[in-house]
Amino acid sequence: MLLKALISLGLKEDDAEIYLLLAREGPQTGRNIAEVLNLYKQQLYRSLKNLQYKGCVKPDCERPSKFSAVAIEVVVDMLADESLDEAENMEENRQRILSSWQAMMKKDAKNSVQKI
């Protein structure tokens, strides 16, 4: 259920699985995450980069780095806000497209009448 909820808020499945592992188990090295979730390192580090960019996980300064999850309340709020922003952008684009389409159709209709 949590996995599907995070995916519905915009996380990819691997990203959501990694986030939930870190949220449940605490800080983990990349190697440990890859072993537990059976991920290739390339997949893992791509997902960790995505999660860091979205503000869902943070690395520490040690070697090897351990990654930790940001509090789920913070993550859910950030992802929900991001989804709302995306929905607003989609609505604005929809309005622009429809407006442009209507203007184009009026222009085409006017040109058709002039040809007759």
Q: What is the pTM assigned to this prediction?
A: 0.78
CA 111 to each of CA 28, 102, 104, 106: distance values in angstroms, whole numbers, following the listed order: 66, 14, 10, 9
Which pLDDT belongs to residue 26? Answer: 96
Tens digit of pLDDT for each residue in 13-49? 999 999 999 999 999 999 999 999 999 999 999 999 9
Tens digit of pLDDT for each residue in 64-114? 999 999 999 999 999 988 888 888 888 998 999 999 898 888 877 777 656
Q: What is the CATH number of domain 2-115?
A: 1.10.10.10
Any idea where the domains of the chain sit in the sequence? 2-115
Which pLDDT belongs to residue 76? Answer: 92
Residue 116 has pLDDT above 60, yes or no: no
Three-state DSSP state, 78: helix
